[in-house]
Each structure stands twice: as C-alpha cells, then as structure tokens.
Amino acid sequence: MLPLLTGDPHEIGPYRVVGRLGAGGMGVVYAGVDATGRRVAVKLVHEALSLDLEFRRRFSREIRVLGGVESPCVARVLGSDPGTERPWLATEFIAGLTLEQHAQAEGPLTGDALYGLAAGLAEALVAMHAAEIVHRDLKPSNAILAAGGPKLIDFGIAKVLDGSTVTHTGTLIGSPGWISPEEYGDGPAGTPADVYGWALLVLFAVTGEQPYGTGRPEVLAYRIREETPESGAVPEGLRGLVERALAKDPAERPLAEEVLAGVTEAWWALSENRPEGRPAAEAADVTALIQHTWVLPRHETPDWPVPPTGPTSLAGPVPLVLPGWTPATGPVPPPAGTPATGPVPVWPVPGTGPVPAGPVPPAGKPGPSWVHAYIATAVGLTLVAITTIVAVAVTSSAERSAPVAQPQAVSAATDAAAATAPVPASTSAPSPSVPSPAPTKSAKPKKKTPKSAAVSLEGIRMALPKSWRMIRVDDHTACIESPDSDGFSGPWRLACRPDSMTVVLRSGPDQWPGYSIEDEDYGFMMGQDMPCLAGGNVASDPTGRTNIGSWAGEYGRYVGVDPYRSRLNHSGLARMGDSRKAFYRDWRVMCADDVGYTMRIWHLPESRVSFYVLCVLPEDAAGYKKIIASTDLTGYPYAAPI
C-alpha cells in the first residue's frame, strides 16, 4: 500500500481512506476501512470521466450486473455510488500477492498450486459469463493468490454482453501483451477473449515470463496477431486446453465451462490424486479441488489499521468428520530425536473481519453531474429555510391565541427549579379552564431487523441470519456458511469449511466430538495430526520449523497446533429453541507459530446430534449463537425426549 498524495480524499462514501493501492485509466484505487474495520478497495473515477453522463449511465448499469456475480474466486462488489460528484465502486480487499508479484519473488507455480490457479480462474470466468459479463483485462496483476485460493479482481473495463461498455466505441482497451487477437480487428470482444486471457495467465504462471515478451504496443500487437506462444512448459494435462484456448479464431476456443471441466478432470487424473471411492459430484467440485491443492502461506499486510474486536460469547454444541483420522485422547509427541521448535514469526490471520456484502445499491437512471447536484442541493436548502420561517410564524400565533401543554421536564434539576420558583399573583379574573392537549410521544423510527431464513435438516429446524445458507453434504451432514465463510482445509478434506458451522446427525460416542466432549485438556483434538486452522485456513511453512512433521506424510508440511498451550475457555450448557440443553465448549486453540483462534462445540449425546465451528470468525460469532438458540429438534425422529 502506498501513502496518500496531496489532494487525495480522506473519505469516500462510508469508507475512511488509509492509502493508495494503484491507479489506472479509469481511476485511482484506494485502500479503505469502514466503521466496523472491514477492509475494502475503492476505485474512484477520474474527474474527467465523472463529467461524462454517458459514462455514468454505463458505469451504473455495469455495477448492477457485477453485484450479481457470486463466486469464491471473484472479488465481491460491496457498494457503489454512480450518482455522486466522483463515482466510486468498492470491492472486498483481498490480502495476498498478485500472480505477477509471486512470480518475481518466488518464481513460477508448479504442481497442485498451478492446477488450483487454473481451476480458480476458470471458475471465476464461468460465474462472470453466466452473468453476461466479460472481464477483458486478464493479466497477472489482476489475479491475487489469496490464502483461500486465487481471486480475480479489477472490473474497471468489464463489459456487459449486450454491448453496454464503460469505454467509447472504437477504443482499444486492455493491457498491451494481454489483448486477444480479435480485439485488434473488427470482431467483438466476447467471452472467448477471456478464455484467451486465461491461457495467457496459465502460461505466465508456468514460466514466469510474459507470453509475447516485451516491447512497444505495436510490436506486441503484431506478435499477438501473427505468432503463437510456446506451450511446451505447460504440464501435459493442461497443455491441450491451453493450446485450444490460444486459437486465433475465437470460435475455435473452448467455453469457460469446458475449461473448468477440463482442468478438474486433468487434476483428478493424476495418479496420486485419483478420487477412489469419492462421489462424482465431489470429484467435479472445483471448490474441493482448490481446498485440497492450495497451500500458499498466509500473506501479511501489517500497514493496515486493525479495528478493535471485543470479546464475543457463544453457546452450543458442534460435530466434525475427518476421514482417515484416528481418535486421540491427548497430544501425540513427536518421535525421539525430533528437535524442539522455537519461536517463529507470527503469521497474522488473513483479513480483519469483513462484513457480509449487501446488494449493490440500484441505480436506475444515470446519476446527475456534480453541477446539477449542487443546484438541487441549493434549491432544497432554500425550501427548507422558507418552510422553517412559516412554521415559526404559525407557532408564534398559536401560542398567543391558545394555551399550549407544557413539555415534560427534561431532567431532575429542571423539575426542582420549577417547584421552588415563585409564582406571581394574578391580577386579572381567572380565565376559564381550557384542557391541554395530551402530550404525544414522538414516533421513533422502527429499526429494521434482518430477516431470518428457516431451514430444516431431517426435521431439525433452524433460523439462519440474513444472507447465510445451508449446504447439504449428505443425509446426515450439512454446512452452514456465512457470507464471510471462504476457508479451506487442504488435504484434510473436512466435511465443511473450517470457518463455517458443521451439523452432524447420528454423531455417536465413538466419533469426535462425542468421545472427547468431557475432556477438559485435549477435547479440541480431532485427530493426531491436527492442523492450525487460524483464519479458517490451513497454511504451510516453507521453513519447516512449525510443520506437523515428516512422520505425518501428506499432512506434514502444514503448520500444526500446540496442544500444550491450548486451553478450554468455557464449559457449560447452551439452551436451544425447544428448551433442551446441549453441552457447550469454547476452546482457545494455539498454533505452533504462535497464532491462536477460537473453536466452539455443541453436542447432544442422547439425540446424537453435534454442531461445531472449527475456527470462529469474530464477525460470525453472534450468528452462530442465534442459530443454536433457534434450533428445534421436536421434528427430528431420533431426538431424545426433553
């Protein structure tokens, strides 16, 4: 993040500006923080464009469409104002290195990380194209390698497929060296242009070099139209897809859906990752693919202001399923001779508690220019002033012609003064008693409470907070995700994301958390080789000092927990919606790299139902508490009597 320059705004809409993230032909991107501490990237349109009413109309329309794109691999649109003096667009801030920065610092991507990138970018294009949007500026600086997977950002020159675009007709858009061949001709830049950009990004990720090299824009344009980049370095499983996507004729390129399916199939075809016995739906799920492959370390952003987060309380029981894990009654010590691990640099939890993204404010008509807004404001203020003068005159006349009820005392001091003040004697005849109008209470605006969504799992009813969702895994397992749930669990392949709630039915005493619910020392241990799940993600340690250990096989390269420093914060009972009570445990889990996080468990041993959140995000804690308080098992056929 760069410091602010002279003349930069300190506030944009509801966001406090704390620095610069970059600039482009459309505007400047600022780092912003809202009142709750959410980090956002705010693009403020250049002043010259803000005076163009046609630009405002198109900008407003594209914002509405972008707000409907839902993908874990696309930066969410959080807010906008196309009608203000300088239009702006706010998206979630994604912590992490761009693909370009990673190539410069770490070199090319290989193996699982490369497949995860290819799958994530393809999934992002599928979501955008389904909303009839073309990104049109796929390049390494617009792909972020976040802790939870790749993210596509910067929709500054995106295009709605009906032809409405934020650029003028005939203007060549995009970055030299990353533009599709048809954009240099008379053909339209549709979804095939994005597929072409996907192939260029995969080539860059494999080699760390620009596919068409460097040079003047006209030189790069010639190479793009007449030459084909070398694809020999691309793994065999992806090479055919990349070569098809690089076709000069847009009609010969695969659709984004075909690219996504091809990447997924190629990855699962690898011998060490063959999905033996795994459901077909899971084998084709790109989210599961990315969770399994993405092992990049968490990225630190120390120069952002961190909002204070007060303690939150939660109650309830929770269960988790870990295939292949063996129950552990305590920590398993490393083999003899394993060197002790000392203090290591702290990896902060990625993000600082984003707030669930609401819908983008609608913008039906093009916003007025700032001159029109100024005139409208002046007229409005004049009308308010005239109305106030008339109201004062009417009130003064009424006070002279009729008695008015005295207002209630504002404070005890006022009441005392009124009681002791002398009252002058009346020298005139007493006037007839006129009843005073009863004092009326000012109508207070009613606060709008977010609506809850009622869901049911095998007869168990729950009320979810607004924008939350429940995902059925199988007949006995479901995941409850908030808008902020985007964690991943790597090779552990957990039933749900670590930062979401898992609901497990038929959870017996031989499964976690049932077998350890009364263990006050190591009840949080789900297995012997337990990863650190801070921030809802697993993380690898290139230094190897905090890893679980080579004896753990596939799991050994990840940061582990420290069972000896972890502790039970709270143990008690949680009341549910049908008045039954569940065992409730609140754990503070410490990791080997000194990062800590909260785990919460709710368990009903007689009904054999468990709920748990492996890593509770502070902003979601109140939501989980409400879910537990609303849970009703009276319709569940296996529920124990209350």
Q: Which residues are annotated as a binding site for ATP?
A: 43
Extended beta strands in 417-468, E state: 453-457, 460-464
**Which of 585, 89, 95, 516 lies closest to 327 in space, CA to CA?**
516
From the number of C-beta atoms within 10 Å of its C-beta (0-12, 13-18, 19+), residue 170 rates as exposed
Separation in Å, CA 504 to CA 385, 475, 487, 585: 63, 9, 19, 16
* Cα–Cα distance for residue pair 315/102, rounded to 1 Å: 41
Structure token digits, residue 109: 């991507």
Give helix then strand counts, H and E, for the chain.
13, 20
Structure token digits, residue 344: 């290591």
Instruction: At 161, give phi and psi (nearest 5°).
Output: -65, -15
Extended beta strands in 395-541, E state: 453-457, 460-464, 469-474, 477-481, 501-505
**Which of 576, 583, 465 lies closest to 520 in space, CA to CA?**
583
* Cα–Cα distance for residue pair 94/153, rounded to 1 Å: 9
Measured CA angle at 32 (ends 483, 144), to 5 deg: 65
Bind-site residues? 43
Q: What is the Cβ-side half-sphere exposure of residue 125, based on CA atoms within 13 angstroms?
A: 29
* Cα–Cα distance for residue pair 386/419, rounded to 1 Å: 39
Cβ atoms of residues 79 and 362 within 8 Å: no
Cβ atoms of residues 603 and 308 within 8 Å: no
Torsion of CA 160, 166, 168, 170, to 10 degrees: -40
Cβ atoms of residues 538 and 639 within 8 Å: no
How long, in residues, is the chain? 642
Cβ atoms of residues 42 and 22 within 8 Å: no
Task: Tell me, rounded to whole angstroms, the distance of Cα 3 from its chain centroid.
Answer: 25
* Cα–Cα distance for residue pair 117/143, rounded to 1 Å: 9
Separation in Å, CA 38 to CA 32, 42, 357: 8, 12, 10
Q: 27 - beta bridge partners?
A: 45
* Cα–Cα distance for residue pair 64/128, rounded to 1 Å: 13
Q: What is the DSSP string of 286-319?
A: HHHHHHHH--PPPPP-TTSPPPP-----------
Beta-carbon neighbour count of residue 566 at 10 Å?
A: 22
* Cα–Cα distance for residue pair 126/130, rounded to 1 Å: 6
* Cα–Cα distance for residue pair 223/211, rounded to 1 Å: 10
